[in-house]
Amino acid sequence: MFFKNCPRHDKRDINKIDKMISMRVKDVHGGLKEYSRQHIIRSCTRAGFDDNTAEEIESRVFERAWDEITTRKLHSIVYSEMKNRNEIFALRFRLREAIAELNPNYSEFEKYITKVLRIDGFDAEWSPRPKPRGECIEHEIDVVAEQHGTTYMIECKHHYHHHRFTGLDIPMRQWSRLEDLKRGYEHGINNAVKADEAWVIVNTKLSDHAKRYAECKNIRMTAWKYSNEDYSLDSLVERNKAYPVTILRPPQHVRTELSKKDILTVQDLIGLTDQQIEKIPVKNSVMRNIQRTAEEMVNK
């Protein structure tokens, strides 16, 4: 028998290699893909861990995983292993879920994106009133942003189920909107606005058709893990450390009160004065604790 004279550690190494070759991960659509060691290591280093710790975490995750493990369960294991080493870094790993948790009933995603763009250096306005008028109709614009003399008309598309793809219809509609707004401005119509470029920001990945159309029409697309890192939503948030407050996992009653005050980013939370905290109907000790966690997340 092949293993008869092998040292025990050699058998374990062979078993580990066999597992690595055969282990697959099941996505939310039921599809299977190979387990990626590098993907987990990259997730750990992006959260803040050094290379050695990232490799240690991946090793523990691999030991705990199994063939056809779901993406959700795998992420849960990664999060628990991160949390055992550094809770702040583990919270950063939750960025995608935290953005998905923004409340669509209060336009939180659109307001959050407005704040992120301001932190990134844009002059941004949420849902301008009166509604900008095009050649044919008036338009509901989620965000208008200006930088270096270029004005962007931004459509924000938020999905609670963040694993789905954003399709072709979104950039197509935004292109049509831009064309109508441009003509309205050229014709001097009342309430027309200068509209230079179309921009779509979504918290999901993009379908291939959406990418191709956007590239053809020169529509700026910001999406999750977008191939152009400058336009990737996760990169935009991470480079500015403009995390949503949902990433801190505050109790629901705290989350509700923060939402009422439009406190949507960790920077909003950190910037609260003693007087402002006093006006929030939440125990001061609870608010201080959440504020300290926000400060750690930004400063680490």
**Structural domain boundaries of the chain?**
8-93, 102-240, 243-299
Does this model's pTM top 0.85? My answer is: yes
Query: pLDDT at residue 67 above 70?
Result: yes
Instruction: Identify the residue whose tokens are 């803040």.
Output: 48
Tell me the CA distances in angstroms from 47 to 80, 168, 273, one per residue in order: 13, 31, 28
Spatial separation of the C-alpha atoms in residues 226 and 235, rounded to whole Å: 9
Cα dihedral: 118, 124, 128, 132 (round 10): -160
**Buried b / exposed e along 42-76 (16+ C-beta atoms within 10 A):** ebbbbbbbeeebbbbbbebbbeebeeebeeeebbe
Residue 147, phi then psi, degrees to nearest 5: -155, 135
Spatial separation of the C-alpha atoms in residues 125 and 67, rounded to whole Å: 48
Three-state DSSP at 196 gives coil
| Mean predicted confidence (pLDDT) in 41-59 | 96
Share of the chain above pLDDT 70, in %: 93
Spatial separation of the C-alpha atoms in residues 192 and 187, rounded to whole Å: 9
Q: Which fold has domain 102-240?
A: Trna Endonuclease; Chain: A, domain 1 (3.40.1350)
Rg (CA), the chain: 23
Query: pLDDT at residue 85 above 90?
Result: yes
Task: Indicate the pLDDT class of residue 66, thresholds 50, 70 and 90.
Answer: very high
pLDDT-wise least confident of 1-15, 145-159, 195-209: 1-15
| Mean predicted confidence (pLDDT) in 102-108 | 93
* Of 270, 214, 265, nearest in space to 238 by CA: 265
- CATH for the stretch 243-299: 1.10.150.20
Spatial separation of the C-alpha atoms in residues 47 and 40, rounded to whole Å: 11
Query: pLDDT at residue 48 above 90?
Result: yes
Contact 263, 242 (CB under 8 A): no
